Amino acid sequence: MILNMGPQHPSTHGVLRVILEIDGENVVRIMPDIGYLHTGIEKTCEAKFYQQVVPLTDRIDYLCPMTNNLCYVLAVEKLLGLEIPPKAQWLRVMMNELTRINSHLVWLGTHALDIGAMTVFLYCFREREDVLRLFEAVSGQRMMTSYFRVGGIALPPPLDFFERVRSFANRFPSCVDEYENLLTGNPIWGLRTKGVATITAEDAIALGASGPTLRGSGIDFDLRRDMPYSGYENFKFKVPIAQEGDVFARYMCRVQELRESIAIVQQTLDGMPEGPIKADAPKVVLPDREKMKTQMEALIYHFKIITEGFAVPEGEVYQAVESPRGEMGYYVVSDGTAKPYRVHMRSACLANMQTLPMMCEGRLLADVVAAIGSIDIVLGEIDR
C-alpha cells in the first residue's frame, strides 16, 4: 500500500511530504518529497545588496537564525578580507551558542512530543522563552534577529544583558537535568528509541550526513573544534559522540551538546574582551549613529552604504559552520559589484534527510516518526 504522509502532518516538522510504501506495519520504501517551502531565496539574494541579504538568511533555518547570519557574514568577510575585533567575535560565539540551545530545545520538545512524551515540550519551551527574551533585548526581535552584520555586530547589547545571560546560564544545567530525568532513564523512551533507525558510520559519511546525525554513529568531527571560525579556538568544550547510531544515540549527543553550549556561554561571559563591536572599515560597516548625526564624512559613508552598497572584490568563498543540524555552508560568488552574483546555501538537513531511506526501510511505520525527529529537519533550510 502506498501511503502519503504530509505535507500537513504534525510530526513532519514542517511541510515535508513522505511517500511510504508499506506492507502491513513494515515500511518497504520511503521517499521524501520536498519543495513545499521553496521561496527562491537563492535567486532573491542575487537582486539584493550584500547587507540586505542578512535578513533573508535568518529565515532559511528559522530555528537557528543567528547561525545562518554568522555563516553568511563570515563568508562575505572572507571575500572582503576583513578583520573582526575580538569583542565582536566573542559576542558572536555567545549568541551562536544560545541559538544552538534554542534550536536543541525545540528539537527535544517536538521530538519527545512526536514519540508521546508531552510534558517535555512544555519544559523546553519554558527555557526557550527566556532565551527568546534575551534575543529580544539585544536586537528587538525574538527569532529573526539579523543581529550580525558584515563587519561585526549591529548594536552593542544593553547594559544589563550580561547579568541576564549569567543568571540564565547558572540556572540552565539543572533544567537539562530535569529533561534527562524525564527521558534518559525512562523505559518507554528506551523502547521507542534504542535500536531504532540505526545508521552506520560509513553510510552516514557517504550520504553526506553531518552534525549529531554523524556524531551519533561514532565519527568524531565538529567544525567548531576541527576547522574553527570566529574565535572558537579560544574556548574549551567537549564534542559528544555516541557509538550506536540509533535515535537514542543522537538524542544523547544533542542533550550533551546542550550542556556543552551553556559551558561555552559561561566561558564567553567570563572572558568577554573590551573593544569595538564593528570592524574598522568605513566603506563597509555603518558608522555609529551619533557620529552619523554630527560628522559629515560619517553621514556620507552611511548614505553611500545604504543606497549603493559596498563593492566586494571578485572571487568565491565557501564558508561552513557547525549549525545545530550539521555542516551549514554558504558559497558566495562575487563579481566585483555590490550585489552577490550567486549565493548558495549548503543545507545540513538536505543531506541529513538522504539518510532517511537507509534508516527506515525494513522497519516499522511508527519508527518513521522517531527517525524524522531524530534527524532534526527544518524545512526552511531544505527548501530555501
Q: Which residues bind another protein (CB under 8 A)?
A: 34-35, 38, 40, 42-44, 46-47, 78-82, 205-210, 219, 221, 226-227, 281, 284, 313, 315-318, 320, 327, 329, 331, 333, 341-342, 344, 346, 350-351, 353-354, 383-384
**Residues making up the chain, counted from first to last:** 384
Closest distance between another protein and the C-beta of residue 38, in Å?
Answer: 4
Nearer to another protein among residue 38 and residue 59 (C-beta): 38
Phi, psi values for residue 251, rounded to 5°: -60, -45
Nearer to another protein among residue 108 and residue 358 (C-beta): 358
Closest distance between another protein and the C-beta of residue 333, in Å?
Answer: 6
- Grid coordinates given for 167: 543568571
Closest CA to 340 of 146, 74, 50, 41: 50
Say what angle helices 86-115 and 65-80 make with each other, to 10 degrees. 150
Q: What is the dihedral of CA 116, 122, 123, 125, to 10 degrees?
A: 120
Closest distance between another protein and the C-beta of residue 352, in Å?
Answer: 10
Nearer to another protein among residue 79 and residue 242 (C-beta): 79
Say what angle helices 247-270 and 365-375 make with each other, to 10 degrees. 20
Respond yes or no on whether the N-terminal peptide bond of residue 276 is cis (omega within 30° of 0).
Answer: no
> Residue 14, by phi and psi: left (phi above 0), alpha (psi -120 to 50) or beta?
left
- The Cα–Cα gap between 222 and 324 comes to 11
Closest distance between another protein and the C-beta of residue 210, in Å?
Answer: 8
- Looking up cell 517536538 gives 110
Closest distance between another protein and the C-beta of residue 174, in Å?
Answer: 35
Nearer to another protein among residue 124 and residue 150 (C-beta): 150
Closest distance between another protein and the C-beta of residue 31, in Å?
Answer: 9
CB 278 within 8 A of CB 149: yes
- The Cα–Cα gap between 150 and 82 comes to 9
Nearer to another protein among residue 303 and residue 318 (C-beta): 318
Q: In 3-state terms, what secondary structure has residue 302?
A: helix
Nearer to another protein among residue 6 and residue 157 (C-beta): 6
Nearer to another protein among residue 140 and residue 313 (C-beta): 313
Closest distance between another protein and the C-beta of residue 19, in Å?
Answer: 12
